[in-house]
Amino acid sequence: MIRKITFCIKNGAKLGYFIDTEDQLITVFQPNQLPEVKEKPDILPVLPVLGSWQLTVSDIFSWLNFA
């Protein structure tokens, strides 16, 4: 999966998230930057088109249903 995310970043994607449900971490991929691992309650980067909208790791995991 990480290979696919890095392929997309290399080919023009501006942002990618790898969601690790087991450890409840999100790895953030952006062009020309090393991946960053985020955890609760870290704020995730979003695309500029979203303005000042803030999204946290906690938000993502609260929306997911693992049942």
Indicate the domain borders of the chain: 2-63
By DSSP bridging, strand 43-44 and strand 25-29 are unpaired
Give the torsion sign (CA, 63, 40, 44, 29).
negative
Return the CA Rg of the chain: 12
12-66, pLDDT tens digit by residue? 999 999 999 999 999 999 999 999 999 999 999 999 999 999 999 999 999 987 7
What pLDDT score does 67 carry? Answer: 64
What pLDDT score does 65 carry? Answer: 77
**Three-class SS state of 21:** coil
